[in-house]
Amino acid sequence: MITSFDAIFEHIKTKPKKRLVAAYANDSHTIGAVSLAIDAGIVDATLVGDAKIIKHVCETIEINYNKFNIVQEADENKAALTAVEFVSRGEGDILMKGLCSTDKYMRAILNKDIGLLPPKGILSHITLMSSSAYHKLLLFSDIAVIPAPDLKQKTAICGYLIKAAKSLGIEKPKVAIIAATEQMSPGMQACVDAAILSKMADRGQIAGAYVDGPLAVDVAIDEEAKEIKKVSGPVAADADCLLFPNIEAGNVFYKTVGKFTNAQLAAMVVGAKAPCVLSSRGDTTETKLNSIALAALNC
């Protein structure tokens, strides 16, 4: 079982290199992360963006731009579409967001002609965290794509979390369906959805994992909270995955643990025809590199 980001890198180094295409890769964090991924031997890379700016950034941070295939497209929207088209044509295994905004990146992925959304597909977003505040790697969703997922979308998200956890070698992942309370409150939709998802797992409609909810975050990850609140079951205090009720809850959790615990993070869009790296424009080079590794693990 993979238990750290270092172990992820060691594992994917044993596999064939993936082809990464970065959309509007005009910034130093994207270029730096892709360069490190190339140096680690896990990807070959195409950077789509303003070639003059890309080369200038490379010179500024002392990276040889000849290690990249650079495709000229100075327009942000067109650069995103060009990168998506590369992956759609089978000329890339991983898509990556550069300096383009998330809405432009997602619109390109969803483009009806060249986009990466399968018929009747549901896109979502998964984050992987390693923090000294928790005893193992933790996956959570959705912090960036679906504002208020309904039951159908939460079912899909649950499946994505389970698949990502299994890519880490977790045989039967423990998924906590998060709400404001672990008490079953019929007036809170998050509690109702959590109870339904838990029962679906009990009946095999969601397979391959322990699924429990509603659970508050403290009960899902903390042994003392579990004991005080007298919550039983395999998921409480030992969750591998957290499924958040809405984007606000997930996004605040992501940024809070990232800034207050100095956690290592990785993030990607799932449900598309290929993994799509989606980290914040303000994220570090390390987070972007980790995200490339997570995407490569899930190709």
Distance CA 44, CA 46 (A): 7
Mean pLDDT of 138-147: 96
252/149 same-domain check: yes
Q: What is the pLDDT of residue 156?
A: 98
Distance CA 159, CA 156 (A): 5
Rounded to the nearest 10 degrees, the angle between the axes of helix 285-297 and helix 5-12 is 50
Q: Which residue segment(s) compose the domain that 140 sits in?
A: 124-260
pLDDT for 281 beyond 70: no
Among residues of the chain, what percentage have pLDDT more than 90?
94
pLDDT for 284 beyond 90: no
β-pair type (124-130, 264-270)? antiparallel
Counting the structural domains of the chain, the total is: 2
Does residue 267 lie within any of the structural domains? no
For residue 190, the domain's CATH number is 3.40.718.10
pLDDT in tens, 31-66: 999 999 999 999 999 999 999 999 999 999 999 999
pTM of the model: 0.94
pLDDT in tens, 177-204: 999 999 999 999 999 999 999 999 999 9
Distance CA 229, CA 131 (A): 24
β-pair type (264-270, 276-277)? antiparallel
Does residue 196 lie within any of the structural domains? yes
pLDDT tier for residue 241 given thresholds of 50, 70 and 90: very high
For residue 35, the domain's CATH number is 3.40.50.10950
Q: What is the pLDDT of residue 259?
A: 86
